[in-house]
Amino acid sequence: MPPAPPIAAALYPGSWSRRGFLGSAAALACGSAAATDWSPTRPLEMLVSFPAGGTADTLARLLGDRLAKSHGWQTVVVNRPGGGGLILQNVLKTARNDGHTVGFGASYELTYPVGERLQTDRLQEFDALCSIAALPVCIMARSDARLDTVDDWRRKAATGQPITFGVSPPFEWVGERLGRLLKMEIIAVPFRGSSEINQQLLGGTLDLAMSAGSHVPLERAHRAKVVYAVTKARMPTHPDVPTLREAGADLAIQSRFIVFANKEVPTRVRLALSEVFTQVAQERTLQDALRERGLIAEALKGAPLLRELQEEVQIGNTIGRAQDARK
């Protein structure tokens, strides 16, 4: 049987036909029965694109623990942060293509532009095997700030005080886009990470801040509140909080934590990995742990995951064009 085309290649019109897209998705969806003839012969090495101690690292270790308990697959987590995922990806490309090394990180590292590199290069090199959790992308404010609605933002802006909005990679573009959509001045203030943003938000330097999970401990300490979801639908953890689309700004982001592999890994091995990781992602124990951390439990593979990644690619292409226009 010839190797299947890389999963993400189907995302690009002109590179693969619609028939090829559907054929690849069908192979991934239906091939699990044939995937059981492969299992690892040594511990899996799970490369994580974030530092130790963070949400992604914790999630990867939870995933490895469930793999061991449910399937007997031992996993070693290796942190390879930096470069918007590029460091991990470079290591994964040089690893042996026998299925014993996989990547774990945020899907936006494959679908959004980082620096000068085109995302099409990345998605043609790696295959998404399974999603584990969707990121609860949202906008938060201090608990004592009266900035709960877009109308509140406009009232402040009307006094001549622009809204300051803390963002971190790869979401630097959100503040500018949001200001244009709402026709008001929003100054995006870039930071290297969420810890710096949270510090400035709580200190009063920022009015609003972007969060992909950092709001959870602040909310529990009653120091911050979520005012809008930036996801396509309302977040399950905040059913009463409207989305930006409901507020009149057509802006939505739905990124996720994914497991991915080098496309050179044999098809049957990728199918086996995809099937087992999906089974673990569907476990109640793991999903409860995800929800406890404010994440949106998810277990997508095949065509459903491809559709979600295609939407991310479209957002990423829009970001890339906007960056080119500013040069």
**Domain 138-229 belongs in CATH node 3.40.190.10:** yes
What pLDDT was estimated at residue 3? 42
Model pLDDT for residues 13-56, shown as the tens digit of each residue: 333 333 343 344 444 444 444 445 799 999 999 999 998 988 89
Q: Is the peptide bond before 242 cis (omega within 30 degrees of 0)?
A: no
Is the pLDDT higher at 173 or at 150? Answer: 150
pLDDT at 93: 94
How much is the pLDDT for 14? 35
pLDDT at 262 over 70: yes
Identify the band that residue 83 occupies on the pLDDT scale cut at 50, 70 and 90.
confident
- Side chain identity at residue 83, one-letter code: G
Whole-prediction pTM: 0.81
Q: In which element (H, E) is residue 257 found?
A: strand 256-262
Question: Is domain 7-135+254-326 given the CATH code 3.40.190.150 in the classification?
Answer: yes
Across 182-206, b (16+ Cβ under 10 Å) vs e yields bebebebbebeebeebbebbbeeeb
pLDDT of residue 320: 57
- Report helix, strand or coil for 100: coil
Q: What is the pLDDT of residues 174-199, one digit of tens each?
A: 988 999 999 999 999 999 888 899 99
Least confident segment among 50-64, 110-124, 302-316:
110-124
Residue 218 has pLDDT above 80, yes or no: yes
Which has the closest alpha carbon to 316: 82, 136, 114, 143? Answer: 114
Average pLDDT over residues 147-155: 96
Q: How confident is the model at residue 322 (pLDDT cuts 50, 70, 90)?
A: low
Domain ranges of the chain: 7-135+254-326, 138-229
* Tens digit of each residue's pLDDT (9 = 90 or more) over 96-141: 999 999 999 999 998 887 655 555 567 788 999 999 999 999 999 9
